[in-house]
Amino acid sequence: MDWIAKHALSLTILVPFITCLLILLVPPERKTVIRVMAAVATSITLLISLWLCFRFDFAKGGIQFEERLEWVPLAGVSYHLGVDGVSITLVLLTAFIIFTGVFASWTIEYRTKDFLSLLLFLVTGVFGVFVSIDLFFFFLFYEVAVLPMYLLIGIWGTGRKEYSAMKLTLYLLLGSAFILVGMLAVYFLSPTGTFDIPELLQTAKFTVEQQRILFLMFYVGFGILAGIWPLHTWSPDGHASAPTAVSMLHAGVLMKLGAFGVLRVGMSLLPEGAQYWAPLMGTIAVINIVYGAFSAMGQTDLKYVIAYSSVSHMGVVMLGLAGMNAVSLTGSTMQMFAHGIMTGLFFALVGLVYEKSHTRDILKMGGFAEKMPGIAVAFVVGGLSSFDLPGTSGFVAEFLTFWGVWKSYPWMTYIGVAGVVITATYVLRVVQKVFLGKRPEGYDDLPDARTTEWVALVVLGAILIITGIMPRLLTDFLNVGVHDYLKLLGKV
């Protein structure tokens, strides 16, 4: 038990990885066994994440649950894990999304074993990224997550899956190319030659010119992953083509990784560079919000609507980062969590609707609420959170963000808030077209969600409302984390 407590973060990486290997040993016909194994593994990671949250020391702040193992081949590399107030919420987010994601992919019959083992391998990488505080391992885990994504979309996807899989993979790797170069530059410019982030924060002093160039590198590299305009085009294609669980994980978690990377690596290591580029970041974020929302409005494919709404909402996250004050950063990091849960819920729902009605074209749907009331309710909950109805977590997050940004760049708030109105338009349009109105011919025996399918709906929907009513559950963590980052930015 003591060992477990000391290595909790390693366990979040190891449990999915070991289960992934174990699944490879099970004969492919034993599909239920494989599914149960995946469900157990993800429940364990969820429990570990919850346990971490309970044990988090608010008074102490900083990086907690540290684990460190010297790792020789590349000098200055150590297997160094730890979470701060921000990344712990993201670990929790990942745990929730993958837990529900496994249940959302319960009905996959085609090569189930390969699917779930690849999914768990992907999750290994995702957890690894959030808990690594060594740049090198951060990068390593990031790369580990890329390949399974290609195969998952390419084999189990829908629509133009091969095109989308390739596009997504190449964009992400392009981002990692910038990150790699920035990372090596940080290593060689730092006085001690290290990849260790806490050590870099203490010792490294970069000149203003260096900071400006390096921050741009990291901003572009991580920004691609966060879906910044105009490098976002991989995201709608990729998310629309991916199988449900992968869309959930990718839109829900991995895009946050991009924003988090900008915060942790870019802004905290290179504060002066960040301040220099903040107006650009903010402007692009505003474009993201408005452009993403308009694009979502123009889609007829249900999954593309959600995918573009992610682009729009990620704009809010990036806008909050650009604001660089306590309120906007809290809003931004809260939006990471809120949007992760919300978009996970949406993709799970779209997956269900598609599975039952065999269409994603919203013009061909209508009146589905009558046949699938549970799905309709969950969709409306997600939708309300999407356009910031008070009482949902989306409201808290976006309100804080816009409020905070007002203090730094008021004009960005004016335009950004307009995005919320457009969001309301397309969300209500989808609700109306799909769930209300007259039901077309041929949809008379649509079933509602069944057994395992409820898990994602109930869990994610409940989190949206609970964190909306009691935002303190999250903001307590975030305040601690944001305080640390503000200190690094020299704003406290």
Partner 1 sequence: MASWADILNLTLPHLWLLAGTLLVLLVEGVAPRRWHAGGWTAAGVFAIGSALSSWSAMDGELWQGMYVWDGYARMLTALIMIIGALVCLSSVCCEEWQKTGDRGSYYALLLLSALGFTLISCSGSLLTLYITLEIGTVSLFALAGHRKTDPRSGEAALKLLIVSATSSAILLYGISLVYGAYGTTVYSQLPLGIMPGTGGNQMGLIGMLGMILVIGGLAFKITAAPFHLWVADVYQGAPTPISAFLSTASKTAGFAALLRLLIIGLHGAEDVWVMVLVALSALSMVLGNLVALAQSSLKRLLAYSSVAQAGYLLVAVVSGVELGLGATLFYLLLYAFANAGAFFVAQALQGNVGSEEIDALRGLRYRSPTLAFSMLIFLLSLGGIPPLAGFWGKLYLFWAGASEGHYTLVLIGAITSVIALYYYLMVAKRMFIDAPEQETPFRFPRSLGTAIAICVVATAVIGLYPRPWLEWSYASTFLTVPPDLPRTAIQQTER
* 69 touches partner 1 (CB under 8 A): no
Considering the complex, state which of residue 169 and residue 312 has its C-beta at the smaller distance from partner 1: 169
| Cα Rg of the chain (Å, integer) | 21
* 26 touches partner 1 (CB under 8 A): no
* 72 touches partner 1 (CB under 8 A): yes
Are the C-beta atoms of 120 and 249 separated by less than 8 Å? no
Farthest-apart Cα atoms in the chain, separation: 70
Options 166, 415, 417, 488; binder of partner 1; rule CB under 8 A:
166
* 181 touches partner 1 (CB under 8 A): yes
Phi, psi of 81 (to 5 degrees): -110, 155
- Token digits of residue 146: 């890329």
Considering the complex, state which of residue 187 and residue 346 has its C-beta at the smaller distance from partner 1: 187
- Token digits of residue 228: 């910044």
Q: How far is the CB of 151 from partner 1 (least distance, A)?
A: 7
* 174 touches partner 1 (CB under 8 A): yes
Q: Give dist(CA 279, CA 281) in Å, integer.
A: 5
Are the C-beta atoms of 371 and 352 separated by less than 8 Å? no
Q: How many residues does the chain have?
A: 492
Q: Which stretch binds partner 1 (CB under 8 A): 4-12, 67-75, 255-263, 465-473?
A: 67-75
Options 22, 44, 146, 424; binder of partner 1; rule CB under 8 A:
146
| CB neighbour burial string for 443-453, b if at least 16 within 10 angstroms, e if fewer | beebeebeeeb
Q: Give dist(CA 258, CA 223) in Å, integer.
A: 6
* 147 touches partner 1 (CB under 8 A): yes
Of 127, 345, 154, residue with least CA distance to 237: 154
Are the C-beta atoms of 320 and 360 separated by less than 8 Å? no
End-to-end CA separation in angstroms for the chain: 39
Considering the complex, state which of residue 144 and residue 417 has its C-beta at the smaller distance from partner 1: 144
Site string for partner 1, 113-142 (x = CB under 8 A): ---------------------------x--
Options 18, 184, 380, 436; binder of partner 1; rule CB under 8 A:
184
Host H or E run for residue 209: helix 208-226
Which residues between 239 and 258 bind partner 1 (CB under 8 A)?
none
Options 14, 26, 44, 155; binder of partner 1; rule CB under 8 A:
155
- Token digits of residue 3: 């060992």
Options 22, 177, 458, 465; binder of partner 1; rule CB under 8 A:
177
Considering the complex, state which of residue 180 and residue 488 has its C-beta at the smaller distance from partner 1: 180
* 199 touches partner 1 (CB under 8 A): no
Options 178, 304, 308, 485; binder of partner 1; rule CB under 8 A:
178
Q: How far is the CB of 230 from partner 1 (least distance, A)?
A: 17
Reduce the DSSP state of residue 409 to 3 states and report it: coil
Are the C-beta atoms of 388 and 395 separated by less than 8 Å? yes
* 231 touches partner 1 (CB under 8 A): no
Options 27, 73, 230, 410; binder of partner 1; rule CB under 8 A:
73
Host H or E run for residue 83: strand 78-83
Evaluated on CA atoms 202, 205, 209, 213, the torsion sign reads negative
Q: What is the DSSP letter of 80?
A: E
Q: Give dist(CA 315, CA 405) in Å, integer.
A: 13
Options 27, 188, 205, 230; binder of partner 1; rule CB under 8 A:
188
Q: What is the DSSP letter of 371?
A: T
* 144 touches partner 1 (CB under 8 A): yes
**DSSP bridge pairs for 81:** 67, 132
Q: Give dist(CA 381, CA 297) in Å, integer.
A: 19
Reduce the DSSP state of residue 79 to 3 states and report it: strand
* 151 touches partner 1 (CB under 8 A): yes
Considering the complex, state which of residue 69 and residue 72 has its C-beta at the smaller distance from partner 1: 72
How many chain residues bind partner 1 (CB under 8 A)?
27
Q: Give dist(CA 46, CA 16) in Å, integer.
A: 11
Which residues between 336 and 365 bind partner 1 (CB under 8 A)?
none
Options 16, 82, 101, 154; binder of partner 1; rule CB under 8 A:
154
Considering the complex, state which of residue 180 and residue 415 has its C-beta at the smaller distance from partner 1: 180
Considering the complex, state which of residue 221 and residue 323 has its C-beta at the smaller distance from partner 1: 221
List all residues 6 or more positions away from 491 whose beta carbon is below 8 Å from its beta carbon: 324, 325, 326
Options 103, 187, 219, 222; binder of partner 1; rule CB under 8 A:
187
* 170 touches partner 1 (CB under 8 A): yes
From residue 431, alpha-carbon distances to 59, 89, 117, 252, 295 in Å are 44, 30, 35, 21, 17
Q: How far is the CB of 121 from partner 1 (least distance, A)?
A: 11
Q: How far is the CB of 216 from partner 1 (least distance, A)?
A: 12
* 143 touches partner 1 (CB under 8 A): yes
Q: Which stretch binds partner 1 (CB under 8 A): 144-152, 310-318, 396-404, 466-474?
A: 144-152
Q: Which stretch binds partner 1 (CB under 8 A): 19-27, 183-191, 414-422, 478-486?
A: 183-191
Q: Interface residues with partner 1 (CB under 8 A)? A: 72-74, 140, 143-144, 146-147, 150-151, 154-155, 162, 166, 169-170, 173-174, 176-178, 180-181, 184-185, 187-188
